[in-house]
Structures are given as structure tokens and as C-alpha cells.
């Protein structure tokens, strides 16, 4: 067992020692919207380990075949993953978990897997929310390859502002190594605490400050992919017109073509200053018009995040600090920001003059749409808690509530329709079970062309595995259908995995799907790499 795994929750998010303190206001707020939750009975780790079936692998020096290691690598963080873990439905686990320490050992493992006709699932931080790590129903043995030991800084070139890391390095370690040398990658997905550089690249992830630093596509300059047919080395050029860009083949490959063992990324000197300010708008219409204008003004901001009225109410209810929030609400009420108000967080990073200029210009545009500047305190709090809020999901489960999210990106004219349709689709889906959904949305990443639309659903658990899975399937299916009907991509940042695979053809077309399938076959002729993800199982 790798030492990092010891303190990690086996059936939920994060570090065992960290809990999110739910206050009464939050619980009352949720109860009023979806009803009283009843905590389900969780399986214990010992019970779950006893359900793990016998492994089918002969002993191997890189492979740990203990039930606990296999269990801990069988799932990600999707709601179906949680249901399986919490209810102890853990029959589908890998036969062993390998912990290679170099590209050479990864190569050896791939050769070994090919010889014994095993399936291989690369494992980064295990934070997938769309079933990327699901162990397929197959007669073949399954080896999950944990890449956490490929985590060193291999090279840093200050002149070219490039850093090469082992691809299994997790967010905090990567940033700590860069910070010690005066740099940052600036890639901060909410899963930062555990997700890895390799995982970010192959799922095309997006960090919260992508407006300044770019998505991982802009940060990934080159790397090394060990594939069943050989090593694909991709040199890092500042730019190239030499035909098809091989990085694009690796980006979004979701472990289907090989294992990324090294990645070279574009780094930035640490910013001198960083600030996040809150602005409230009276209604969604004004708020959306304002953020579109700000995004299209192409100001040097690092983040724009706009919450709709229900998310704004939810955020304020969860903030605690009863008196302060009451005073803020009273002040906003006097400035026409009542029940329908929407909160924008605008961030900027860089030298002090750039930060001041970017925020000043953004606030000037916001004022044209009746935006009320609420200062830096809320933004500062958001920054402090941005990787802590995810622990709320554990706390809500213990009170009998499930939380899930869907996300997409769409052009500006379709943003409002998308938001309304996705929320309504989820409500309709659960009303068939006699249940209510507390659904709310924010725009998390802004572009001149459009925005990502990120919707959260909170609802009651039934307390029975089959019924909870049915509820989730109905809600997820309805939300995905609404995304397609409103012209959105099936994912802006979470990727495809198994959960989104049935919807991929709608945006790639038959010819496009054929091209992806042939690429996978080129690198992996026997189909041993992470089958069933990205492309529907054939």
C-alpha cells in the first residue's frame, strides 16, 4: 500500500482528518427545499474488503494484489462510484495494482500485461467524476497502474519557462516544487488536492484560473506516452506548423492509447499580487450581459465565475456568519439586488499594476449593468476554501443527501436556455420518484464565444443501492439529453469516461468516432488499454 493512501477516505472525498462542518442554517435551507434526509447505513472498509473477489494474477514484483489496494483503486468520485462504495457493491475491482517508479517500469508492465492478455487501467489521482476508472466486465485479468511514484521534477528551463514532471505528480506537490523556484503552473481544478498532471492532460481538464493561465491544452507542451506498440515522444516547441499536432492525440485520450509518464508544461513566474472581488447584479439578464462584455473585452483577468440566483442564495446560506451576511443582504437590497441577485467573482493575478487595471476595467463594465461591488472579503474567503468546499459532499451524505454535477459549454446565445433546461430536466426526472431536486448553476469559465455552464444537484438519498442508482440514472440521463438538445458539448472539463460515452457520437459524428477508434487501435491493437472509456464498449 502506498503511504499516501493511508489517510485518504476510501469511500468519499479527501483526507480522513478533514470534515466539513455543516451548520444548522445550511441544513434548514436544504430541508426546506428537498425534505428531511435519512442517513443510509454505510458498509465498513472491512466489509467491503471481504466482498472483493479472489485475484487472478500471478505474483509480480510491481503489483500489489491485496484486497484493500484493489478496492481503493477500483473507483473514482462519480456518484455511481460513491453508491458502490457506500453500499459495499464492490465486486468489480482490478486484480492487482502496480506502482511503477519510472517510464521503463511502465514499459515493462505494459509488455507483461500484453503477454498475459490483461487489461490495463492507468490511475492518476482517482478523481474522475465520469467513470474513467470503472473496471470492465471482462474475462481478462485487470491491472490498475497507480502513477503516483512518477512524481519528480525532471527539468526546469527558466529561459523557456518549461518544466518537465513525472506525470503522476499531484497538484499540491507540483505547485510546491514550482513555487520553491519562483514559478506556478496556475492550473487549479477544484480536485487539485489529489488530481495529477497526467490525469489533467488526458481528460482535458480546466483550472479555476484558466482565464489567465489557459486550460491544460494550452499548458501541455509535450511529453512521453508509453503505448502497447511503443514509446511516443512529443517534443515541446513554442509553436509548430509541422502537420497534425500529436499533443492533440494525447489530450483527451483517457488512458485508451497508453500511459503518459512525463509531461512538459508551460510555467509562469509567481504573480506578485492576486485578488478576487465580488460583484452582485439585480438579475440574471444584467449579470450575463455584464460577464459577456467583460469576457469579450479580453481583460487580463484570471477568473470570472457567475452564480445564478439559486446558487447565490445557496452560497450565502452556507457562508455561516449570520450577522455579516444579514448586513450584506440588507445593503444589497437597498441597491436593487434582492431575491433574484446573482454573484460574480472576478479574479486577477500578476503584477500590481496589471491586477489593479484589470479589476478596475471589469468593475467599470459591471457598473454599466447595475453591478454592485462588494469588495474583496467574499473573494478572499472563496480562495481560502476553494479546495475545502468539496468536503461538503461527505457531510451531506452523512445527513442523507446526494450531490452531483453536470457541466457543458455553449455559445452565449444559448447559455440561459441551457441553464434552465438542465435544471428543469433534473427536477422533472426526480419528480417521477416523488422527490425534489435543489438545482443551481454557475458559469465557471468564460470565453469570447460562450461559457461553461456548471449545474449542481442536491437531493435525498433513498437509502437503498438499486433505487439510488435508478434516481441518479434518470437525472443524469435527463440532464445529458438537455445538454445535447440545447447544442452543448457533453463535457467542458470532466471528460467522457463511461458515463458520457453514449453521447459522444452526437458531437463527433460517425466519421469522427471512426477516426478516434482507429487512433486507439493504432497505439493499442489488442484493445487492452482502459476499455469502455471514451468510446462505448463494442
Ligand X SMILES: Cc1cc2nc3c(=O)[nH]c(=O)nc-3n(C[C@H](O)[C@H](O)[C@H](O)COP(=O)(O)OP(=O)(O)OC[C@H]3O[C@@H](n4cnc5c(N)ncnc54)[C@H](O)[C@@H]3O)c2cc1C
Round to whole Å and give the CA distance between 313 and 341. Answer: 8
Q: In which residue are the cell numbers 493561465 written?
A: 213
User: Looking at 93-101, 115-123, 241-249, 507-515, which segment touches ligand X (CB under 6 A)?
Assistant: 115-123
Q: Shortest Cβ distance from residue 467 to ligand X (Å)? A: 23
User: Looking at 154-162, 279-287, 488-496, 505-513, which segment touches ligand X (CB under 6 A)?
Assistant: 488-496
Which of 366-394 are b and which e, b meaning 16 or more Cβ less than 10 Å from the residue's Cβ? beebbbbbbeeebbeebbeeebeebbbbb
Under the binding rule (CB under 6 A), the answer on residue 282 touching ligand X is no
Q: Which of 532, 519, 536, 537 is closest to 258 using CA atoms?
A: 519
* Member of 93, 202, 426, 516 binding ligand X (CB under 6 A): 202
* Member of 40, 55, 67, 76 binding ligand X (CB under 6 A): 76
Under the binding rule (CB under 6 A), the answer on residue 189 touching ligand X is yes
Element (H, E) at 360: helix 352-368
How many residues form the binding site for ligand X (CB under 6 A)?
38
Residue 286's SS3 state is: helix
Cell numbers linked to 89: 457493491
* Member of 128, 148, 264, 486 binding ligand X (CB under 6 A): 128
Can you give the length of the chain in residues? 538
Name which of 164 and 354 has its Cβ closer to ligand X. 164
Name which of 67 and 166 has its Cβ closer to ligand X. 166
User: Looking at 156-164, 200-208, 269-277, 300-308, which segment touches ligand X (CB under 6 A)?
Assistant: 200-208
| Beta-ladder partners of 450 | 411
Strands (DSSP E) contained in 158-241 are: 162-166, 183-184, 220-227, 230-234
Under the binding rule (CB under 6 A), the answer on residue 409 touching ligand X is no
Under the binding rule (CB under 6 A), the answer on residue 456 touching ligand X is no
Q: Which of 123, 181, 160 is closest to 265 using CA atoms?
A: 160
User: Looking at 124-132, 308-316, 415-423, 471-479, which segment touches ligand X (CB under 6 A)?
Assistant: 124-132
Cell numbers linked to 347: 479574479
Name which of 283 and 493 has its Cβ closer to ligand X. 493
Under the binding rule (CB under 6 A), the answer on residue 255 touching ligand X is yes
Under the binding rule (CB under 6 A), the answer on residue 315 touching ligand X is no
* Member of 119, 143, 147, 249 binding ligand X (CB under 6 A): 147
Contact criterion met (CB below 8 Å) for 455 and 420: no
CA distances from 204 to 189, 239, 491 (A): 11, 19, 10
Q: Which of 346, 355, 352 is closest to 378 using CA atoms?
A: 346
Residues 367-406 that bind ligand X (CB under 6 A): 390
User: Looking at 110-118, 334-342, 476-484, 489-497, which segment touches ligand X (CB under 6 A)?
Assistant: 489-497
Contact criterion met (CB below 8 Å) for 261 and 224: yes
* Member of 70, 247, 442, 533 binding ligand X (CB under 6 A): 533
* Member of 11, 103, 191, 421 binding ligand X (CB under 6 A): 191
Under the binding rule (CB under 6 A), the answer on residue 148 touching ligand X is no
Round to whole Å and give the CA distance between 262 and 275. Answer: 33
Name which of 191 and 354 has its Cβ closer to ligand X. 191
Residues 259-278 that bind ligand X (CB under 6 A): 259-260
Cell numbers linked to 202: 488526458
* Member of 184, 195, 408, 452 binding ligand X (CB under 6 A): 195
* Member of 37, 94, 495, 532 binding ligand X (CB under 6 A): 495
Q: Shortest Cβ distance from residue 203 to ligand X (Å)? A: 4
Burial class (CB in 10 A: 0-12, 13-18, 19+), 525: exposed
**Phi, psi dihedrals of residue 103, rounded to the nearest 5°:** -60, -35
Q: Shortest Cβ distance from residue 272 to ligand X (Å)? A: 25
Q: Shortest Cβ distance from residue 495 to ligand X (Å)? A: 5
User: Looking at 255-263, 297-305, 360-368, 435-443, which segment touches ligand X (CB under 6 A)?
Assistant: 255-263
HSE toward the beta carbon, residue 229, CA cutoff 13 A: 12
Chain CA centroid to CA 267, Å: 21
Name which of 8 and 473 has its Cβ closer to ligand X. 8
User: Looking at 59-67, 190-198, 279-287, 510-518, which segment touches ligand X (CB under 6 A)?
Assistant: 190-198
Under the binding rule (CB under 6 A), the answer on residue 254 touching ligand X is yes
Under the binding rule (CB under 6 A), the answer on residue 105 touching ligand X is no
Contact criterion met (CB below 8 Å) for 128 and 91: no
Dihedral angle at the C-alpha atoms of 185, 186, 187, 193, nearest 10 degrees? 90
User: Which residues, 6+ apart, have CB-to-CB distance to 253 below 8 Å?
Assistant: 202, 225, 534
Interaction pattern, residues 206-245, with ligand X; x per rule: CB under 6 A: x---------------------------------------
* Member of 314, 421, 456, 530 binding ligand X (CB under 6 A): 530
Round to whole Å and give the CA distance between 410 and 408. Answer: 7
Provide the binding-site residues for ligand X, judged by CB under 6 A.
Answer: 13, 76-77, 121-129, 132-133, 147, 167, 189-191, 195-196, 198-200, 202-203, 205-206, 254-255, 259-260, 390, 493-495, 530, 533
Amino acid at each position: 500500500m502506498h503511504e499516501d493512501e493511508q489517510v485518504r477516505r476510501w469511500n468519499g472525498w479527501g483526507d480522513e482528518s478533514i470534515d466539513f462542518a455543516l451548520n444548522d442554517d445550511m441544513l434548514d435551507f436544504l430541508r426546506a427545499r428537498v425534505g428531511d434526509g435519512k442517513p443510509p447505513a454505510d458498509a465498513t472498509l472491512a466489509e467491503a474488503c471481504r466482498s472483493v473477489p479472489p485475484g487472478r494474477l500471478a505474483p509480480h514484483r510491481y503489483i500489489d494484489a491485496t484486497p484493500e489496494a484493489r478496492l481503493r483503486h477500483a473507483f473514482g468520485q462519480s456518484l455511481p462510484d460513491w453508491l458502490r462504495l457506500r453500499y459495499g457493491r464492490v465486486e468489480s475491482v482490478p486484480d492487482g495494482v502496480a506502482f511503477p517508479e519510472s517510464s521503463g517500469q511502465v514499459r515493462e508492465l505494459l509488455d507483461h500485461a500484453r503477454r498475459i492478455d490483461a487489461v490495463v487501467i492507468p490511475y492518476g489521482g482517482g478523481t474522475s467524476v465520469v467513470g474513467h476508472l470503472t473496471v470492465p466486465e471482462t474475462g481478462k485479468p485487470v491491472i490498475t497502474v497507480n502513477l503516483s511514484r512518477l512524481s519528480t521534477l525532471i527539468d526546469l528551463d527558466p529561459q523557456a519557462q518549461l518544466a518537465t514532471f513525472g506525470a503522476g505528480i499531484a497538484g499540491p506537490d507540483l505547485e510546491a516544487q514550482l513555487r520553491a523556484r519562483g514559478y506556478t503552473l496556475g492550473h487549479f481544478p477544484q480536485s487539485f488536492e489529489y488530481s495529477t498532471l497526467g490525469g489533467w492532460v488526458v481528460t482535458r481538464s480546466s483550472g479555476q484560473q484558466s482565464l489567465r493561465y489557459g486550460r491544460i491544452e494550452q499548458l501541455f507542451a509535450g511529453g512521453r506516452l508509453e503505448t502497447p506498440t511503443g514509446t511516443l515522444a512529443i517534443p515541446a516547441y513554442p509553436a509548430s506548423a509541422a502537420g497534425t499536432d500529436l499533443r492533440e492525440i494525447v489530450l483527451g485520450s483517457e488512458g485508451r492509447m497508453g500511459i503518459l509518464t512525463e509531461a512538459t508544461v508551460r510555467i509562469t513566474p509567481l504573480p506578485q499580487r492576486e485578488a478576487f472581488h465580488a460583484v452582485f447584479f439585480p438579475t440574471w439578464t444584467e449579470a450575463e450581459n455584464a460577464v459577456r462584455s467583460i469576457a469579450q473585452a479580453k481583460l487580463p483577468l484570471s477568473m470570472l465565475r457567475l452564480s445564478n440566483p439559486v446558487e447565490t442564495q445557496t452560497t450565502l446560506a452556507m457562508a455561516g456568519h449570520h450577522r455579516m451576511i444579514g448586513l450584506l443582504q440588507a445593503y444589497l437590497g437597498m441597491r436593487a439586488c434582492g431575491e433574484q441577485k446573482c454573484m460574480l467573482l472576478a479574479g486577477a493575478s500578476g503584477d500590481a499594476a496589471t491586477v489593479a487595471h484589470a479589476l478596475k476595467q471589469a468593475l467599470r463594465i459591471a457598473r454599466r449593468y447595475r453591478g454592485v461591488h462588494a469588495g474583496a472579503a467574499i473573494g478572499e474567503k472563496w480562495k481560502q476554501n476553494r479546495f475545502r468546499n468539496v468536503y461538503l459532499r461527505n457531510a451531506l451524505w452523512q445527513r442523507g443527501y446526494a450531490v452531483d454535477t453536470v457541466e457543458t459549454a455553449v455559445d452565449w446565445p444559448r447559455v440561459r436556455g441551457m441553464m434552465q433546461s438542465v435544471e428543469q430536466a433534473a427536477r422533472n426526472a426526480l419528480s417521477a420518484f416523488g422527490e425534489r431536486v435543489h438545482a443551481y448553476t454557475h458559469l465557471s469559465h468564460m470565453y469570447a464565444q460562450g461559457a461553461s455552464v456548471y449545474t449542481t444537484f442536491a437531493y435525498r438519498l433513498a437509502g437503498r443501492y438499486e433505487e439510488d442508482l435508478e434516481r441518479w440514472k434518470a437525472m443524469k440521463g435527463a440532464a445529458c439529453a438537455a445538454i445535447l438538445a440545447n447544442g452543448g458539448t457533453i463535457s467542458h472539463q470532466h471528460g467522457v469516461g463511461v458515463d458520457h460515452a453514449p453521447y459522444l457520437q452526437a458531437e463527433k459524428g460517425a466519421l469522427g468516432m471512426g477516426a478516434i477508434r482507429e487512433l486507439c487501435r493504432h497505439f493499442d491493437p489488442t484493445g487492452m488499454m482502459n476499455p469502455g472509456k471514451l468510446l462505448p464498449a463494442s
